[in-house]
Amino acid sequence: MSLPSFDVFYLRRSLLGWYAQNGRNLPWRDSADPYQIWISEIMLQQTQVKTVIPYYQRWLETFPTVTDLAQADLQTVLKVWQGLGYYARARNLHACAQQIVEQYNGVFPNQLEAVLSLPGIGRTTAGGILSAAYNLPISILDGNVKRVLARLIALSVPPKKALKSLWEWSDTVLDPDHPREFNQAIMDLGAMVCTPKAPNCSECPWQLYCQAYLSNLQSQIPMGETAAPLPHKIIGVAVIWNEQKQILIDKRPAKGLLGGLWEFPGGKVERGETLEECIKREIQEELAIEIEVQEHLITIDHAYTHFKVTLNVYHCRYLSGEPQPLECDEIRWVTLDEIEQFPFPKANEKIITALKNNS
């Protein structure tokens, strides 16, 4: 399906008129600084605006410029990011800042190819940055835009199966004279009016041309895909105490899920294994030490994008052996007061809270 040219002119004009009256007032929209815009775009990947705003403000207080970020220690970066999830974003931001300082004299590039070569930046993020920072006519296709366009044309397949066409439609409707405002407007339209459930069609500037609305299909479009049930992992976790009332924590390898973060050691329960047996085995395999598993501390259910976990956390007493980082990057004995200095995954934060409440 193509969009007739006269429709496109109407769509641009009506959307920009709606945006002038209804657009969201967001902190990064007051800035023309590519660094600040880039940070906001990365934080907004898979994270809601209301969650991002306090993190964004704290980030800029800690790392006001790309040079400040490039020179920071990765542990400091991860600690400031702690709680936002998808930690690869923070690691990529850090690596990207170093690349910008080294290759572009600390100035965020304004060429699409250069931006796409930076760590953690795909086509939508690049378009968002370049249109907002430099007013370049480069389209975007985030979740909001996919939904708006899918309804506009009454897309008959799930968006994942029509990405090439959706990109073409996003290119077509983009206003080349006002790309900054247009991209922000179409995102706001999806976030505020063309919402996933119960879209407010009476407020939509595109209602007259929306094929889903005209066919009364807006609640069925965009079509979803049948999702397989998420795998569920049962994990035994050890809070290991020594005689000095210190706790043993380990740092995950830099690559992979939660890379570079600290955690309480443990692992997946094997078939036919009790939680206590699992914890003793995992600690022997990971750290080469003997422990005594003692009382239960807390059980935590947590969902990631592709799987769920149940963390069964036990107090443990260190018995013997010299701790070795066999499956991690680093290990450290710390007091409960010192533990706040280290970046932990969100689920582990609940363990720390439980420890403090019980101390």
Tell me: the pLDDT tens digits for 338-351?
A: 998 999 988 888 99
Is the CA virtual torsion 303, 306, 307, 313 positive or negative?
negative
Asked if residue 34 belongs to a domain, the reply is yes
> Which residue type does 73 have?
D
Distances (CA, A) of 331 to 113, 204, 249, 344: 40, 55, 6, 14
CA angle 171, 118, 88 (to 5 degrees): 105
- Dist. CA 275–CA 280, nearest whole Å: 9
Instruction: Tell whether 296 is covered by a domain.
Output: yes
For the CA atoms of 289, 292, 295, 300, the dihedral, rounded to the nearest 10 degrees, stands at 30
Q: Active-site residue 41, yes or no? A: yes
Residue 49 placed within a domain: yes
Single-letter amino acid, residue 88:
A
List, for the chain, all residue ranges whose pLDDT scores fall below the cut of 70: 1-6, 359
Q: Are residues 242 and 168 in the same domain?
A: no
Question: What is the token pair recorded at 299?
Answer: 């059980």
Could you tell me if residue 223 is inside a domain?
Answer: no
Residue 124 confidence (pLDDT): 95
- Establish if 161 belongs to a structural domain: yes
What is the H or E stretch that residue 241 is in? strand 232-241
Same domain? 50 vs 195: yes
pLDDT recorded at residue 285: 94
Domain ranges, residue 50:
5-214
Shared-domain flag, residues 115 and 243: no
* DSSP H/E element including 17: helix 5-22
pLDDT at 5: 64
Let me know if residue 222 belongs to a domain.
no
* Amino acid type, 69: L
Asked, as a colleague might, if the bond just before 222 is cis with ω within 30 of 0, I would say yes
Residue 41 and residue 168 in one domain: yes
Examine the domain organization and report whether 202 and 349 are in the same domain: no
In this prediction, residue 46 carries a pLDDT of: 85
Query: Which pLDDT does position 358 carry in this prediction?
Result: 81
Out of 187, 214, 241, a domain closes at: 214
CATH of the domain at 135: 1.10.340.30
Residue 90 is assigned to a structural domain of this protein: yes
Q: What's the pLDDT at 2?
A: 59
Instruction: For residue 69, report the phi and psi dihedrals to the nearest 5 degrees.
Output: -65, -45
Residues 208, 251 within the same domain: no
Q: What is the pLDDT of residue 258?
A: 83
Q: Are 268 and 278 in contact (CB under 8 A)?
A: yes
Would you state the pLDDT for residue 4? 60
33 and 140 housed in the same domain: yes
Residue type, 225: E
Count structural domains, the chain. Answer: 2
Please report whether residue 220 resides in a domain.
no
pTM: 0.83
The residue to which tokens 């992992």 are assigned = 233
Strands 290-303 and 308-320: antiparallel
Amino acid, single-letter form, for residue 272: G
CATH number of the CATH domain containing 245: 3.90.79.10
Asked if 117 and 251 sit in the same domain, the reply is no
Return d(Cα 23, Cα 18) in angstroms, integer. Answer: 8
How long is the chain? 359
Q: Which of 41, 263, 282, 286 is catalytic?
A: 41
Phi, psi (rounded to 5 degrees) for 123: -65, -45
Q: What angle do CA 28, 29, 32 make, to 5 degrees?
A: 85
Distances (CA, A) of 145 to 86, 240, 345: 22, 48, 30
Kindly state whether residues 204 and 263 are assigned to the same domain.
no
For the CA atoms of the chain, what is the radius of gyration? 24
User: CA triplet 42, 27, 345: central angle to 5 degrees?
Assistant: 40
The residue with tokens 């066919």 is: 215
In this structure, are 40 and 165 located in the same domain? Answer: yes
Cα-based angle 50, 225, 203 (whole degrees, multiple of 5): 45
For residues 84 and 43, the answer to whether their CB atoms sit within 8 Å is: yes
Residues 210 and 239 occupy one common structural domain: no
The pair of structure tokens assigned to 3 is 């969009």
Neighbours of 86 (CB within 10 A): 17
> Would you state the pLDDT for residue 1?
57
Q: Do residue 274 and residue 240 come from a single domain? A: yes
